Amino acid sequence: KAGVTQTPRYLIKTRGQQVTLSCSPISGHRSVSWYQQTPGQGLQFLFEYFSETQRNKGNFPGRFSGRQFSNSRSEMNVSTLELGDSALYLCASSLAQGSSPLHFGNGTRLTVT
Amino acid sequence: GEDVEQSLFLSVREGDSSVINCTYTDSSSTYLYWYKQEPGAGLQLLTYIFSNMDMKQDQRLTVLLNKKDKHLSLRIADTQTGDSAIYFCAEREGSYIPTFGRGTSLIVHP
């Protein structure tokens, strides 16, 4: 069974631009979560989607948004990029919302210059 | 919110056992997870335990849970250089957002 796939693996953008990251969950998984990982802040929760609905949201500004499609694939968008948005963005999928363990992709490394 | 604490570094010799510790604060029924992250990769799920269990063993990995002290440990037997990575402890209660520790960097010396 294929794992969680995130595209692209690397991105370089300039301040003020916007970016869209994509995540394909493990087949059969209906819940998708997004995390931001930085050396200083560790793993920070962004949002969780289940059945195309956002179920949980972290403490990030409105520039960060996401969505989930009917096939459970998910995208997250960051508008008006700032230098501090440089991070590894991780997507994780699980069978259902709640106690099912999260399975992570290898992430998208975003660098904002 | 819940807090998950881990020590930042652990250094061991190849062939020794490694014990990575974690404390958590949630007192309800919860799942507790261990993840491994190698450079340039995402988090790999190693094992998990429900809070009504005391211990779980999976090949070289042993998870011990002390519910009274809210202390979780991951023991890696016969540690190899390939075990060098960052290990994350996480807890999740129901549909609440999972809480992750800051990660423990395990360094294995030959």
pLDDT tens across B10-35, in order? 999 999 999 999 999 876 778 999 99
> Which one of A56, A93, A95, A99 makes the best mutation probe of the B interface by having the most chain B beta carbons within 10 Å?
A99
Q: Does residue B1 surpass a pLDDT of 50? A: no
How high is the pLDDT of residue B30?
Answer: 84
- Band the pLDDT of B96: cuts 50, 70, 90: confident
- 3-state DSSP percent of chain A in helix, strand and coil, to 5: 5, 55, 45
Residue A51 to residue A72: CA distance in whole angstroms: 7
Give the closest residue to A92 by CA, choosing from B18, B85, B98: B98
Chain segment A48-59, per-residue pLDDT in tens: 999 999 999 999
Integer Cα distance of A65 and A46 in angstroms: 9
Tokens of B65: 């849970």
A80: left (phi over 0), alpha (psi -120 to 50) or beta: left
- Work out the burial of residue A15: count CB atoms within 10 Å of its CB; fewer than 13 is exposed, 13-18 middle, 19 or more buried: exposed
**Contact map slice: B 23-62 vs A, CB within 8 A:** 31, 33, 35, 40-45, 48
CB contact under 8 A, A101 and B31: yes
Interchain proximity A98–B95, CB inside 8 Å: yes
How many Cβ contacts (< 8 angstroms) between chains A and B?
A: 47
Percent of chain A at pLDDT > 70 equals 97
